[in-house]
Amino acid sequence: MKNITNYNKNVNAPVHLHLELKDEYLTEYQKRMLKRYGESSTGVSICRDILIPSDMPLHNLHYAIQKLYGWQNSHLRRFYLPEEVYKKLTEGTVKGWSDLVGILFQPPSEAEEDIFWDDNYKTGNISTWLKKKYTGPYFYRGKFECLEIAKRDVHQLMNHFKMIDVQESFQDYIARTKKTGDKEIRILRKAPLIDLTLEEMNSSIIIEAGTENLLERLEVSKILAGKDEQIVEERLFPAAREIMYNYDFGDNWIIVITKEDNCKNLFESGLVSQEEIAYAKDIVVNKHMPVCIHKDGVFLLDDVGGLSGFADFLGVVYESEDKAESDGLRTWAKSLGWSEKKIANKRIL
pLDDT recorded at residue 4 = 55
Q: At what angle do helices 323-335 and 306-319 cross, to 10 degrees?
A: 130
| Ordered mean pLDDT values, 10 residues apiece, the chain (349 residues) | 50 92 96 98 97 98 98 96 97 98 93 83 94 96 93 96 92 84 86 96 92 97 94 93 97 97 89 95 97 97 98 97 96 94 94
pLDDT recorded at residue 104 = 98
Cis peptide before 238 (omega within 30 of 0): yes
Estimate to the nearest angstrom the gap between the alpha carbon of 5 and the chain centroid: 24
pLDDT recorded at residue 1 = 59
pLDDT recorded at residue 11 = 67
pLDDT recorded at residue 6 = 42
Report the predicted TM-score, pTM, of the whole model to 2 decimal places: 0.93
User: Which structural domains are found in the chain, ordered by start?
Assistant: 1-81+131-139+215-349 (3.10.290.30), 91-109+144-213 (no CATH)
**Distances from the Cα of 56 to the Cαs of 39, 136, 220, in angstroms?**
29, 8, 6
